Amino acid sequence: MVEISKKYAVQMRGITKSFGTFKVLDDVELDVKKGTIHAILGENGAGKSTLMNILYGLYSSDSGEIYLNGKLQFLKNTAVAIKSGIGMVHQHFMLVDKFTVIQNIVLGNETTGRFGIIKTRESREKVKEIIDRYGLNVDLNRKVRDLSVGQQQRVEILKALYRGADLLILDEPTAVLTPMEIEDLIRIMGSLVADGKTIIIITHKLKEIKKSAQECTIIRRGKFIDRVKVEDETEKTLAKKMVGREIKLKVDKTPFNPGEEVFSIKNLHVRCCRGIETVKGLSLSIRRGEILGLAGIEGNGQKELIEALLCARHVDSGEIRINGEEIQNTSPGNVLKCGVSAIHADRHKYGIVLDFSVAENAILEKYRDKPYCERGFLNYKERDKFTNKLISEYDIRPKDCKDLLIRELSGGNQQKLVIGREIANEPELLIAVQPTRGLDVGAIEYVHKTLINLRDKNKAILLISLELDEIMDLSDTIAVMYDGAINGVFKSGEADENDIGFLMAGGQENEQCC
Amino acid sequence: MKKSATFLLTLLIILILSGFTLMMMPIFRGCTGEDDEGSGFSVAMVTDTGGVNDQSFNTSSWQGLSGFAKRTGSRASYVESKQSSDYFSNIDRLADENTNLIWGIGYSLADVVQWAAKTNPELNYAIVDYSYGDDTPENVTGVVFRAEESAFLVGYIAGKTTKTGKIGFVGGIKGIVIDQFEYGFRAGADYAAREQGRPIKVVVQYAESFSDAAKGKAIALKMLSNGCDIVFHAAGGVGVGVIEAAKEKNCYAIGVDMDQAYLAPKNVLTSALKNAGRAVDLVCTELFEGNKIGGKTLSFGIKENCVGIPESNPNLDPKVYISAMKIQDEISEGKIIPPYNEQEYEKFRVNDINQ
Amino acid sequence: MSNAVNILKKPFIATVISVILGFLVSLFVLSAAGYDPFKSMAVMISSIFSRPKFITNVIIKSTPLILTGLSAAFAFRTGLFNIGAEGQYIIATVVSTLVGLVFNFHPVVQIPLVIISGVIAGALLGGFTGFLKAKFGIHEVITSIMLNWIALYTCNYAANLEAFHKPESNGTYPINKSGISMLLYDWKFSEQGRAFLKDNSLLNDIILKTDLNLNFLIAVAMAIIIWIIVYKTKIGFEMRAVGFNHHAAMNAGIRVNRNIVYSMLIAGALSGLAGALTISGTSNNAIQVLSVFENNGFNGLAVALIARSSAIGCIFAGLIFSGLIYAGQSLQFKIGVPSEIINIMIGVVVFFVALTKMFPAIVEKFFMRRSENVK
């Protein structure tokens, strides 16, 4: 154990925290050197966020001590934490959509003149200075709702710096970013650290830890496992420490052996809710036994495309066919009947009903069919039988969760249920939209394996993801979406990350990138 | 298993509770054994859905009832009806309390009072603002007001005071009681017109409500900007808006039921009083003194001092007041009989012209 | 300690405790207003339990509250806020009254006709609200509030229609006798009936002196049916899914718009049933000109709140609410408590039920502090 010293920005000792009878953190310690990027690594539900929320004063720990710069501190609420120079950027941003960037930054910390009138000029100059120093470019006069996710994150970071943060906690900062935005973020973190700031990032993405952090604390199931120098470890050894067992980071795939075409999109045109055309003549086709990965930066029409495929949005022109049958502009029910199932990125919104039990969610798409429903009445016995089958088949934990509300399950287990449910539909085409978003390495491995198995059963899969790695690993064919249309199609292995990234950014296939 | 256990437990609790209730019933009954005080004479009333604080009929009746109780040392109480379906149980409830005289305030209670009187022939009932005519049960007293008399008076006063020769009447919802006001008012204005030898126009509009003050204000404002300079209302809560409009336009309003000068001291010309409390008090006193009051309908007017105008009217020309008092005496003596509905009004006009 | 907390977390027990606590606090209100709380308590209890007639009255008066409560609770369960229960209730009383006045069949036909016509009227008004929400996305609260007023004025218009208006009253004639569903209604008016009842004090009490009817049983049956619909049927599953998360429901192939309309239809029908049963089964049997809302529908929202949107809970909540109102009126004429204080008391009870969720947290905190002190 390191002794308490001024060299460390944060030192936490013996932190224990329980929610009810459940011990989330058990005697955890943390040492973060000043002027470094320190990663906290752990699976979902390992207690990383809780630990950081304690540091930020959101929760109070049941026992344990916190030292800032070698001094014992009692952080009883966030106001004290902020005063002590701690800033936190949450996974879900805490911004007021309708306010401009500058309004959001000064919110709650306005410099006011006489009569309480806000003096924007002073704050504006202060913010501009921060922007220039760290390269955090963002237009101060735009409304937050018009910004991309990456830019919103910058606003959050600016907010923390504006309040004088020396220690910045970033909770899963890369979960929602595109590869390029991640690069930017890492660059910004570098310049912050160079200026003497200290950064803690919570993440389960090994690659980013390798790229950015100097040291890493690993937590597993609420217990401190190890503190390591990142340069001494490989992704594999980190993963093993995090999960506690060997993990395959790359999926094994059987050879690609496609069948006939089952699904096709021809010249599809869709408008978004503001009436602007965002899908502009997109065409695509998928064969049996094929995983088609659709890569692309967020905001290039993916959202509208997915909604159109599921008939949640009107198609202006073009056709969508499954097994030769046109399905555009019918109904979500019809799409389901035709054998198209979907796993959504935002499962809380589109995939499950949080206030339903696990069993009710399990039959969400089957409730109207025999034997789950007879003469208008639900058959609970059949429902429970089916649910238990999914629970054991997909290893959903805890084992006897069928009557629990699904919101009480962890994200990974929720996703397992969704995937199990969709696959039980025996779909002709499975649309998987960021199926691993927010999942930890163990769960990701499981999801990937399941998708590959489905492909091997000669089904078609459309994988839409912002994470290029995932697409590169799983897909047999990779299509790049840019500005509402397909900007290039590769066979797996034909192109590397740079080629695809180039196309994602709108480059043309024939002009070679450097 | 767990569910059925909960169910059984609930059932058990319900059974025990109901058994307990049955057993305890006599004890419950005992524990409120009323400590009767005073003369042992008791009177009670059931309000209509307006409630006891309607600043009108119910309030006035309650003042009369409690005044009577104070004077004679009897007990007075009231129950407010929240819904029209409460009338029945509220009237019935009072019968259990050995009340000597039970009042229903307002004609809405006419049916239930009649029914209760039949069921409890040993008790006395009375109803305000309703007459059963020839069907009046032996133990029921109807109390009605000759509101047309006071309306006639204020109509006369308005007719004498108006400068534009145009006055307005805002009614609540058309009906027998409001008709008394409307036609009494019109006849009074006509009377004043004949006396002065100039035409006076009466503009009439109904608000279709007794509570919508905003509507009352809108109607009155329209009347006032169309040339009326005095507005009389018989519309309960709507009238508050009417008086407000008069205040805004700096014209005159005439209040109703109670002296409403306090609402706008500079803009209320006078008020057509309808003193239900006095009538209630009179009827109670009759019974208290041992007189038989049942089986008939009593009518109260200027003669009984139950309707009229206030004694002090700071905004009123004293000359007009004096001539109004003459009219009041004539009504009291029966020389003038103001009309209480359209038919009588037509007759009154014909007679008027013939004179 | 955790045991105590767990028991408190059980909805039934927690609600009962809140009601009792609310009641105790409301006694403080009484004593603060200068009335003897113990005597008041005794009056309230005796005015509900001391005679079969009182119990019967409380039960009769609870019926519309249970039904409008069910209406609100059902809407809550399906993600809607049926503040329009008031208007649905009123429109049902109007239609039931008019139908009961115009037609005069044999009671076997007439009673169901009167009731069902009211139910349909309520359902249509509710369904219209749902339709506006489904089709144009107008929030149901806004349309409901407007429709409440429309219903109120419709009622006032209908009550003054020349054909139905009873002279010297502010309402219509009572509906034709064949449509009245009070038990042994004729006995109340016939000499033989009265004579017979006189000899039997219990029957005299509950038949002659109350509007004895079977409406309560209908309300209980409806509560059970609603419970079955919500939890046991396909359509209930759909409506709940739409209520909790319409995005997920739509993706699962559930027709969101249709289910919103269905939910509001059913909620409206329940409020309508409350109104229709009131016309057919309680005295007056007619509509009156309304100057303000009678709060049958709005009280339903409070009932649903006390019941925590449970269909079966609405039965008990309706009884509690009706008991409070009934006992409150006794309090008024026996002790002279003004209705404002009584309304505050009822408000306090409802308020405490709304706070039910807080109790386990408070107890937890209390025990935690104690265990800390022990350390």
Q: Which of C266, C262, C188, C252 minimizes the C-alpha distance to C222?
A: C266
Q: Is A222 left (phi over 0), alpha (psi -120 to 50) or beta?
A: left
Residue A4 and residue A70 in contact, taking contact as beta carbons nearer than 8 Å: yes
Q: Which residue has the tokens 């509690």?
A: C320
Residue B102, domain member (yes or no): yes
Q: Is B154 in a helix, a strand, or coil? A: helix
By Cβ distance, the residue of C235, C238, C251 closest to A332 is: C251
CATH of the domain at B167: 3.40.50.2300
Based on the domain organization, do B153 and B238 belong to the same domain?
yes
Residue B137, domain member (yes or no): yes
Q: Is B175 touching C (CB cutoff 8 A)?
A: yes
Three-class SS of C178-242: HHCCCCCHHHHCCHHHHHHHHCCHHHHHHHHCCCCCCHHHHHHHHHHHHHHHHHHEHHHHHHHHH
Domain membership of residue B52 as a residue range? 42-145+277-300
Based on the domain organization, do B87 and B181 belong to the same domain?
no
For chain A, what is the radius of gyration of the CA atoms? Answer: 24
Residues in chain C closer than 8 A to B119 (CB atoms): 188, 194, 208-209
Two tokens, residue C334: 């026996």
> What phi, psi does C57 have (nearest 5°)?
-60, -45
Q: Which of A486, A462, A458, A489 minimizes the C-alpha distance to A474?
A: A462
Q: pLDDT tens digits, residue range B38-87?
A: 568 889 999 888 788 877 788 889 999 999 999 888 888 898 888 888 88
Please, which residues have CB within 8 angstroms of residue C313's CB and are 6 or more apart in sequence? C11, C12, C15, C73, C306, C307
Based on the domain organization, do B233 and B346 belong to the same domain?
yes
Q: Which helix (H) or strand (E) holds C50?
A: none
CB contact under 8 A, B111 and C174: yes
**CA end-to-end span of chain A:** 48
By Cβ distance, the residue of A336, A368, A377 closest to C232 is: A377
Residues B51, B57, B58, B60: is their CA dihedral positive or negative?
Answer: positive
DSSP conformation letters of A60-111: --SEEEEEETTEEE---SHHHHHHTTEEEE-SS----TTSBHHHHHHTTS--
Q: Please name each of the domains of chain A with its CATH number.
A: 8-243 (3.40.50.300), 259-339+427-507 (3.40.50.300), 352-425 (no CATH)
Q: pLDDT tens digits, residue range A150-195?
A: 888 889 888 888 888 899 999 888 776 777 788 888 988 998 999 8
Q: Which of A294, A301, A296, A264 minimizes the C-alpha distance to A279?
A: A301
Among C251, C308, C365, most A C-beta atoms within 10 A, so best to mutate, is: C251
Residue B16, domain member (yes or no): no
Instruction: Tell me the pTM.
Output: 0.78
Based on the domain organization, do B195 and B326 belong to the same domain?
yes
Please give the Cα distance from A465 to A451 (Å, whole number): 14
Residue B242, domain member (yes or no): yes
Label residue C319 exposed, middle or buried (CB < 10 Å: 0-12, 13-18, 19+): buried
CB contact under 8 A, C248 and A376: no
Q: Is B237 touching C (CB cutoff 8 A)?
A: yes
Among B20, B83, B122, most C C-beta atoms within 10 A, so best to mutate, is: B83
Q: How many domains in chain B?
A: 2
Residues in chain B closer than 8 A to C339 (CB atoms): 51-52, 80, 82
Distances (CA, A) of B82 to A40, C111, C150, C211: 64, 26, 21, 17
Count of CB pairs separated by less than 8 Å, A with C:
68
Distance from CA of C50 to the nearest CA of B (A): 5
Two tokens, residue C262: 């269905």
Residue B222, domain member (yes or no): yes
Residues in chain C closer than 8 A to B118 (CB atoms): 189
pLDDT per residue rounded down to tens, chain A (514 residues): 678 888 899 999 999 988 766 778 888 999 999 999 999 988 766 788 888 889 998 888 888 889 998 888 888 888 888 888 999 988 778 888 888 888 888 887 777 777 777 777 888 888 888 888 888 888 888 888 888 778 888 898 888 888 888 999 998 887 767 777 888 889 889 989 998 899 999 887 788 888 889 999 998 888 888 898 988 888 888 888 887 777 666 677 778 888 888 889 999 999 887 788 888 889 989 999 899 999 887 778 888 898 888 888 889 989 899 888 888 888 888 888 888 999 887 788 888 898 899 999 999 888 888 888 888 899 889 999 999 998 888 888 777 888 888 888 877 788 888 988 988 888 889 999 888 876 777 778 888 888 888 888 888 999 998 777 788 888 889 998 888 888 888 888 787 777 787 788 777 765 544 4
Based on the domain organization, do B232 and B106 belong to the same domain?
no
Residue B27, domain member (yes or no): no
Please give the Cα distance from B147 to B306 (Å, whole number): 9
Q: pLDDT tens digits, residue range B244-296?
A: 999 998 999 999 888 888 888 899 999 998 888 899 999 999 888 888 888 88
Residues in chain C closer than 8 A to A365 (CB atoms): 252-253
Based on the domain organization, do B181 and B322 belong to the same domain?
yes
CB contact under 8 A, C46 and B211: no
Based on the domain organization, do B98 and B218 belong to the same domain?
no
Tell me the domain boundaries of chain C.
Answer: 58-305
Residue B252, domain member (yes or no): yes
Chains in contact with chain C (at least 3 beta-carbon pairs closer than 8 A): A, B
Based on the domain organization, do B64 and B49 belong to the same domain?
yes
Among C168, C205, C296, most B C-beta atoms within 10 A, so best to mutate, is: C168
Based on the domain organization, do B209 and B334 belong to the same domain?
yes
Residue B244, domain member (yes or no): yes
Residues in chain C closer than 8 A to A354 (CB atoms): 244-245
Based on the domain organization, do B221 and B334 belong to the same domain?
yes
Based on the domain organization, do B111 and B126 belong to the same domain?
yes
